[in-house]
Amino acid sequence: MRTKNAARIDAQERAHLAAVKSVPCVICDAPAPSSAHHIRQGDHYTTVALCADCHQGSVNGWHGQKVMWRLRKFDEIDALNETLRRVLNLRANAYAAAPAAMPWLTTCEEESHVD
């Protein structure tokens, strides 16, 4: 939910948030859909995929006692790194399955090839 003073979410941000929510929780690996925890409010690219318990749980959650976070030895940057790794893997797998549907995801090798 957006606050009344927050800027509108553009299409690219919306797509990124959808991708983040489509990967498992990076702390406990609970299956998707996940929630998107914003490291900085309003910055939609610095979001972490978390289940409800690891996000807002009173014991395990970031907004609670952070028990699962300490067990995993993760801070927000570690969780962001894992989220981005999973999102990129998801996109790579989707590209491998249907490259024609995602022409913007070409590799450098493909771009440098001249016919």
Asked, for residue 30, whether it belongs to a domain, the answer is yes
Contact 69, 54 (CB under 8 A): yes
> 47-50 and 35-38: which strand pairing?
antiparallel
Instruction: Provide the token pair at 44.
Output: 């939609």
Asked, for residue 111, whether it belongs to a domain, the answer is no
Rounded mean pLDDT of the chain? 84
Residue 39: which pLDDT band, with cuts at 50, 70 and 90? very high
Asked, for residue 33, whether it belongs to a domain, the answer is yes
Which structural domain range is residue 15 located in?
Answer: 11-89
Task: Please state the pTM of the whole predicted model.
Answer: 0.77
Contact 93, 101 (CB under 8 A): no
Asked, for residue 1, whether it belongs to a domain, the answer is no
pLDDT at 2 over 70: no
Asked, for residue 39, whether it belongs to a domain, the answer is yes
What CATH code is carried by the domain that includes residue 38?
Answer: 3.30.40.190
